[in-house]
Structure 1
Amino acid sequence: MAPPNSSRRLFLKAGAAATGGLLLQVAIPGALARALPAGTAFSPNAFIRIGADGKVMLTMPYVEMGQGTYTSIPMLIAEELEIDLAQIVLEHAPADAAKYANPALGGQMTGGSTTMRAAWMPMRQAGAAARILLVRAAANQWRVDPASCSAERGAVIHAASGRRLRYGQLAEAAGRLPAPAGKDIVLKEPGRFRLIGTAAKRLDTAAKLDGSARYGIDVVVPGMKVAALAISPVAGGRVASLDQAAALKIRGVRQVVRLDDCAAVVADNMGAANKGIAALALQWEDGPSAALTTAAIVADMAQASQGAGAQVRSENDPEGALRGAARVLEAIYELPFLAHAPMEPVNCTVHVRADGCDVWTGTQIMGAAHAVAAHAAGLPLERVTVHNFLLGGAFGRRLEVDMIERAVRIGKEVPHPVKVIWSREQDIQHDMFRPYFYDRLRAGLDAAGKPLAWTHHITGSSVLGRFMPAAFNNGFDSETVDGADAPPYAFPAIGVSYVRHEPQGVATAFWRGVGPAHNVFVVESFIDELADAAGTDPLRYRLDLLGHNPRARKVLELAAEKAGWEGPSAGKAGRGLAVQFAFGTYMAMVADVVAGPEGELRVVRVVCALDCGVVINPDTVRAQVESAVVFGVSAALYGDVTIKDGRVEQSNFHDYRVLRMHEAPVVETHIVPSGETPGGMGEPGTACVMPAVANAVHALAGKRIRKMPIGATLPART
């Protein structure tokens, strides 16, 4: 998604806080403004409170799930407010979409690698506006021209007289001043940045190390019980029978709650709850999906892919160009269902009462969490409070609210607070999965092997069509085709089309990398096939198609240079390339893959070059690349969710594998200096690394990888 339009006016309102300090409210126009009906008033989106002690309280409109948001956004505020990062104190924003909506997404959510893109200008403007008010307050007290004063490290200074006032001393007076607006909000020039662009230590590290950081699963409420859950193993199934008496005989078990598609055992502790689940001897009515298999789903999808689909892009008669080509290459690519498998399993604590409901959880989508909890509880929104926490991983899973709705339904039957925890097995087998995709590619080459035409026909689920139906227009949505509708290369003729096909009995959801994690794999793998057919080095082939795209060309050249690229082979290693533009960031990767004595594959090195515009915290950028590489390599080698007899076959990390520490590759990240608007960094690496690995495996084994996952061992040479 494009970043919010920073030229739109930023509306500010200042006032005295109840604590006698400065309360600054920020309303951020952008995508939210376009999504609301005409005439809708805007409420503030973010709050800065400056107390008499000089501490700055930032009510954080985004969530922290490991990506570094709770450091990078305070850096923006601290930079413009001229304070040290340590002066900022954070609190989670409550559920209030009117105040805390993400302007890039139009709702109160964190996702799509939009946080820094959405926050870049508004948060800096918020800090600058607060600084201006404090300087004016000091100038008024000293009866001098504000232009003769400056802000520095939490104080306003009048250099001519040597006078100095701390922000805490000025906060109350500043809160009574009219807020600056428009051209009155002057931002710092990049050459004067003191924090932005530096490697700041993360503010949440200490609490995570000493155990004081609180995640949803850590919640403890007075009188709370714990519930274990068993959900129908087949989507659409129902509870046929259970042995409630046997469960209640377990010491510590207090209650059994039976719903239509699940059962919960409420107990004093998790051990007793799990024993109670085992004792229930559950029997299920599997329903219409009882015989469902992955093979049947894929066959259905292959049949659907024969349809013409919706036209996403068509330029310069691609079908005619194919007919005139010296050679036409065709390929079918398949990508499997994938689970999210965050380290913190799904959980939600609720206390449902006649007069209200409290929900304690970690969620990426506070607005929807609030709404679904109220609906499930049968209460008005104002009687429901959602308390958000740090997220122990999410990858898109916590953009869904099924776990909250289910917990509230259980909580309605329980007379005290109850923490509902999904086991790892329940979490993986009842996830909402990354969609399966079935893509048909064709390319027409001239006599020299250069592309004359490119067509990409996508078949798969539309998550955005379910998540935000209004975004599904003309037969497709922007997320599903992202990375396919505008590849970085110059093709004389191009056609992109899409068939929406929702699989029976499998719920689909956003997964880290969303559309590009699917489409970049397909595009970059097929480009490698074209280079191979042309007998050209895959690096040179790409560079010849990137003459119009200097930023993409730069990152590709840099990655190849730092990797020491001399071709697809390097000693005993196979090497693969990939380049992309996704989430506002240009990125290229070179992956080195080797095979062990038993043919086991291992990715030993990944070299990444990127241009993500202005870098706020380079340490966070590098950490995001490393995290995304591990996530993407795990998916490329092992990621697969399969269905048999209507049931998900994988259940834990033994059969839904992720890289172990000793299997993690060396990751080298090289950042191209840039003054462009910041791009996203949470997801690009996942999308880029998968085709780089697949292309490296081809270089090593001579086999094209057209269907993920690659597998743990060297493919047979073809």
Structure 2
Amino acid sequence: MDDHTAISLPRRRFLASSAASALVIAFQLPGAAKVAHAAQDQGFSPNAYLRIGADDSITIIVALVEMGQGTFTSVPMLIAEELEVELSKVKVEPAPADEKTFGHPLYGLQITGGSASIQGAWAKLRQVGATAKQMLVTAAAQTWAVPEQECRAVGGQIIHGPSGRKLSYGKLAAAASRLPVPAGAPLKDPSQFRLVGTSAPRVDTPSKVNGAAQFGIDVKLPGMKVAAIAVCPVIDGTFGSVDDSPAMKVSGVRQVLRSANAIAVVADHYGAAKKGLAALAIKWNEGKSANFSSKIWRAQLATALKGKGVVALNEGSFAKANAAAARRHQAVYESPPLAHTTMEPINCTIHVRKDGCEVWLGTQAPARAQGLVAKAVGMAPERVVVHNFLIGGGFGRKLDADYVETAAHLAKQVDFPLKVVFSREEDIQHDAYRPYFLDEIAAGLDKDGVPVAFSHRTAGSAVIARYAPAWLNKGQDTDAVHTAETPYAVPNKFVEFVRHEPPAGLLTGNWRGVGPTHHAFPNECFIDELAVLAKADPVSYRERLLAKNPRALAVLKLAADKSGWGASLPARQGRGIALVDAWDSCAALVTDVEVGKDGSVKVNRIVCGLDCGIAVNPAGVEAQMESGIVYGLTAALYGTLTFERGRVVQSNFHDYPPLRLNEMPTVEIHLLKSGAKPGGVGEMGTAVAIPSLMNAIYAATRKRLRTYPVAVDQLKA
């Protein structure tokens, strides 16, 4: 991969600068352009995912952003597989902001998230490679005046079998560019894969190791200044007043900018800007949410849970079956709000000119950022060019672009490029938080303790209703209830979502998933509670309920077998299991913990069984699962995010800590071989890690925790 990861050309200039005799296969997903054009032809549709140069260079345009999850490797693998070229021969470029052209194949929006990159790319982008290969074969056959069936693609060349003649893709580019684009080029059978299914090294790793990789925060431009920003600390509060003079006395400070709810000090470098900002005594208008707190938020959710919501699932009759049950059990679980804490803090560089605007950043939603900037600076979106860089962690935070809009309101006040950097404190205290949820779960059991009725009622924020209201299904936020019904066979199921939003200005968003990463905790811990009532082993109990779900049963058994489930453990050590069936994948996780007499929790070992369909890049899948597990453990052990006086109390890693290196357990990922189409894995580890840990803590202490982070005081001997 080229070290420069940002596209710095508008689309028209990008096309004009391409090699004169290059073959560009233009695709509009879904659907395809009718004709392929040489790159110098300005009349062709610019939605190109593949460019083959006369010099045999192969460039793949990836619309799914790279934020550490490996899309710049796995997505090109799909195209390279069908195109019959080695991954090492491919150059990767990120796509520009263009939602119509580069919208997600599943979502339509130009976003990267929802564990859906490979799911969306699987068929559509393999088709890009297959179509190009077919056109190159046709071009070669016409050049040689031979039947196409006598020609085959191998290693970037077309070979004529009977004569042994060869032509490279570059030599065929001009001829192929004059051909019509065929519809429905055949895809390879998975049994023929040479690249997909092998562990390929990440193409972005070398530049990250040698320091050449460029993230949004690394941007340096001629004449650029840097701004340190303070946003009103109170929810929905606004800027009041300030005396600029203390900041202007700091060497390197140039000016002080204001927006509706923020103030920024502009300087030659961040150190001066930060020092200037610290010198200011800012007066804020705190507004009507100044008394808001976590206690109030929870009480509001509890009240909401008593009311009626939207029924998402109603199979059989829960009320009748529950009333007739031999035994009934109910519990309320609480999932706290959480911050993202990406390693690269929020930042954005914007240069507003009279003739247009340019934006440099790392975002999961380039078109969304483009639209918000355009609105803020009063320009048409096509006049705003977004240069999207590598992202130092997204986790859903950078699906939102509220911080980009704030930066735009500041940048339009100056005539030079302005880099706006949000400190770690500002980042944590002005996040798009994982919503606060309360879950009321109930089950009716037969005489053997097997559930015959299951009810799950959730109260919380509907992120999709805000982010993409077009995705609502008859008013139902499908992500908010996704997986709420559990993967277990229960004849009578009822799921209801009661929407309750926090005060205006308190933004809730995607946090490495929403539905499954929230529901897995109450669901899987509740299943453990039912196993205890039935005096059954948690694995055996689940096996009985998964008789009609062979996929989930297989990963459950895989994780249990590999972990040595059933072996005795010393006192205050426990082993817990959890299962998640989501994102077209299925995972089971076994966690071994040790709980000290002081209540401290040490995670010793984690064993995962995973069926994610065809693993395009198995090493990448394992890395994503490990990453998700770390994220989940961090939330379960340390995710304390509290509100007082309308403010977030926590501010940095001293009071909102991540899992440390010395706390990292041994992790084993065991992939179940599958011929199914790929599922998502980016959020799976996070979803399954939290309940597995909590169930292990119960096994070690016989103390059931129905919220997190882990309350050490409750676990003391």
TM range (shorter): over 0.9
What residue number does 2:490 align with?
491
* Structure 1 partner of 2:102: 100
SS at match of 1:605: strand
The residue number in structure 2 matching 1:463 is 463
Q: C-alpha distance in 2, partners of 1:206/1:327?
A: 59
Separation (CA, whole Å) in 2 of partners of 1:264 and 1:361? 18
- For 1:122 and 1:570, the matched residues in 2 are separated by 52
Question: Which whole-Å CA distance do the structure 2 matches of 1:432 and 1:364 have between them?
Answer: 14
Q: 1:703 deviation in Å?
A: 0.9
Deviating beyond 6 angstroms after TM superposition, the runs of 4 or more aligned structure 1 residues are 14-17
**Which position in structure 1 is the counterpart of 2:357?**
357
C-alpha distance in structure 1 between counterparts of 2:526 and 2:598, whole Å: 29
Q: What is the DSSP-based 3-state SS (H/G/I as helix, E as strand, rest coil) of the residue aligned with 1:226? A: strand
Give me the whole-angstrom Cα distance separating, in 2, the residues matched to 1:609 and 1:636.
21
Distance 1:449 1:187 in 2: 49
- In the alignment, what sits opposite 2:642? 642
Mapped to 2, the partners of 1:666 and 1:427 lie a distance apart of 31
Shift of 1:682: 0.6
Match of 2:434 in 1: 434
Deviation of residue 573 (structure 1)?
2.2
What amino acid is aligned across from residue 702 of structure 1 in structure 2? R
Note the residue ranges of structure 2 that are not aligned, 5 or more in a row.
1-14, 32-43
Structure 2 contact 153–159 (Cα < 8 Å) conserved: yes
Rounded Cα–Cα distance in structure 1 between residues aligned with 2:314 and 2:49: 46
| Superposed counterparts of 1:101-120, under 5 Å | 101-120=103-122
**Are the equivalent residues in 2 in contact too, given 1:231–1:426 (CA < 8 A)?**
yes
Match of 1:341 in 2: 341
Distance 1:179 1:258 in 2: 53
Task: Please name the residue that 2:25 is paired with.
Answer: 24
Matching residue of 2:693:
693
Deviation at residue 240 of structure 1 after TM alignment: 2.1
Aligned equivalent of 1:545: 545
**Cα distance, 1:17 vs structure 2:** 6.4
Shift of residue 158, structure 1, vs aligned partner: 1.4
CA distance in 1 between counterparts of 2:630 and 2:711 reads: 15
Give yes or no for contact 1:568–1:575 (8 Å, CA) kept in 2.
no
State the identity as a percent: 50
1:585-605 Cα shifts (integer Å, max 9, x gaps): 011000111124643101111
Which residue of 2 is the match for residue 565 of structure 1? 565
Shift of 1:127: 0.5
1:46 to partner: Cα distance = 4.3
- 2:190 paired residue number: 190
| Larger deviation, residues 20-29 vs 629-638 | 20-29
> Deviation digits for residues 210-235 of structure 1, max 9, x if unmatched?
11111100111111000000010001
Superposed CA offset, 1:292-326 (max 9, x none): 11101111111111012111111111011111111
Deviation of residue 177 (structure 1)? 1.2
Q: Which residue of 2 aligns with 1:138?
A: 140
Per mean C-alpha deviation after superposition, the further-off stretch among 707-716 and 495-504 is 707-716
TM-fit CA distance, 1:29:
2.1
Q: Distance in 1 between matches of 2:677 and 2:238?
A: 51
Q: Distance in 2 between matches of 1:351 and 1:108?
A: 23
Counterparts of 1:196 and 1:570, CA distance in 2: 44
Q: Which moved more, 1:260-269 or 1:564-573?
A: 564-573
| Alpha-carbon distance in structure 1 between the residues aligned to 2:596 and 2:27 | 56
1:532-567 per-residue CA deviation (whole Å, 9 max, x = no partner) reads 001000101100000110000000000000000006
Once the two structures are TM-superposed, the CA of residue 475 in structure 1 deviates from its matched residue by 4.3
Check conservation: 2:572, 2:701, Cα contact below 8 A.
no
In the alignment, residue 351 of structure 1 is paired with which amino acid?
Answer: H
Tell me if the contact between 2:373 and 2:384 (Cα under 8 Å) persists in the aligned partners.
Answer: yes
- Which residue of 1 is the match for residue 9 of structure 2? none
1:582 aligns with 2:563: no
**Helix, strand or coil at the partner of 1:213:** coil
Q: What is the rounded CA distance, in whole Å, between the counterparts of 1:647 and 1:254 in structure 2?
A: 30
Measured on the aligned residues, the alpha-carbon RMSD in Å equals 1.7
Distance 1:189 1:394 in 2: 34
Q: Deviations over 1:632-658 (max 9, x none)?
A: 000011112100111101101111111
Structure 2 partner of 1:157 = 159
The SS at the match of 1:479 is helix
CA separation of 1:286 and 1:356: change in aligned 2, threshold 3 A: same
Equivalent pair of 2:29/2:102 in contact (CA under 8 Å): no
**C-alpha distance 48-489 of structure 1, shift in aligned 2 (>3 A):** same
Which moved further from structure 2: 619-628 or 164-173? 164-173
Residue deviations 1:382-431 (CA, integer Å, cap 9, x gap): 21111101000010000001111011100011121010000000000111
Matches of 1:595 and 1:694, distance apart in 2? 12
Q: Tell me the residue number matched to 1:376.
A: 376
Q: State the match for 2:532 in structure 1.
A: 532
Shift of 1:476: 2.4
Q: Distance in 2 between matches of 1:179 and 1:366?
A: 29
Deviates more, 1:247-256 or 1:569-578: 569-578
Q: Which residue of 2 aligns with 1:522?
A: 522
Alpha-carbon distance in structure 2 between the residues aligned to 1:24 and 1:366: 23
SS at match of 2:541: helix
| Distance of 1:586 and 1:15 partners within structure 2 | 46
- Partner SS, residue 480 of structure 1: helix
Aligned equivalent of 1:6:
none
Amino acid across the alignment from 1:81: L
Secondary structure of 1:615's counterpart equals coil
1:427-473 residue CA offsets vs partner (Å, 9 max, x unmatched): 00111100000111111111111111111110000000111122234
- Secondary structure at 2:112 match in 1: coil
Cα distance in structure 2, aligned partners of 1:455 and 1:395: 30
Match of 1:170 in 2: 172
8 Å Cα contact 1:101/1:109 also seen in 2: yes
Residues 345-377 of structure 1: CA deviation (Å, up to 9, x unaligned): 000000011221110011101111111110001
- Structure 2 CA distance, aligned partners of 1:330 and 1:664? 34
Q: What amino acid maps onto 1:197 in structure 2?
A: G
Gaps of 5+ in 1: 1-13, 31-41
Deviation at 1:613, TM superposition (A): 0.6
**Which SS does the other structure have where 1:360 is aligned?**
strand
Q: Contact 1:424/1:652 (CA < 8 Å) preserved in 2?
A: yes
Q: Secondary structure at the match of 2:682?
A: coil
SS at match of 2:715: coil
Distance, in Å, in 2 between the alignment partners of 1:162 and 1:528 is 65
What residue number does 1:58 align with?
Answer: 60
Counterpart CA distance in 1 for 2:378 and 2:81 is 45
What's the counterpart of residue 35 of structure 2?
none
**Structure 1 stretch 98-107 or stretch 335-344: which is displaced more?**
98-107
The answer as to whether partners of 1:310 and 1:474 remain within 8 angstroms in 2 is no
Task: Quote the Cα distance in structure 2 between the aligned partners of 1:180 and 1:586.
Answer: 37
| Distance in 2 separating the partners of 1:173 and 1:474 | 51
Deviation at 1:18, TM superposition (A): 5.2
Paired residue type of 1:153: G
What residue is the counterpart of 1:311 in the other structure? Answer: 311
1:686-716 deviations in Å (ceiling 9; x for gaps): 0011100000001111111111111456624
Single out whichever of 260-269 and 571-580 deviates more from structure 2: 571-580
Conserved? CA contact 2:576–2:590, under 8 Å: yes
Question: Which residue is equivalent to 1:280?
Answer: 280
The residue identity in structure 2 corresponding to 1:522 is P
Counterpart for residue 84 of structure 2 = 82
Distance 1:104 1:571 in 2: 49
Counterpart position of 1:37: none
Distance 2:578 2:348 in 1: 40
CA distance in 2, matches of 1:470, 1:663: 42
TM-score by length of 2: 0.94
Q: Give the Cα–Cα distance (whole angstroms) in 1 for the partners of residues 489 and 553 of structure 2.
A: 12
C-alpha displacement of 1:162: 1.9
TM superposition shift of 1:571: 6.1
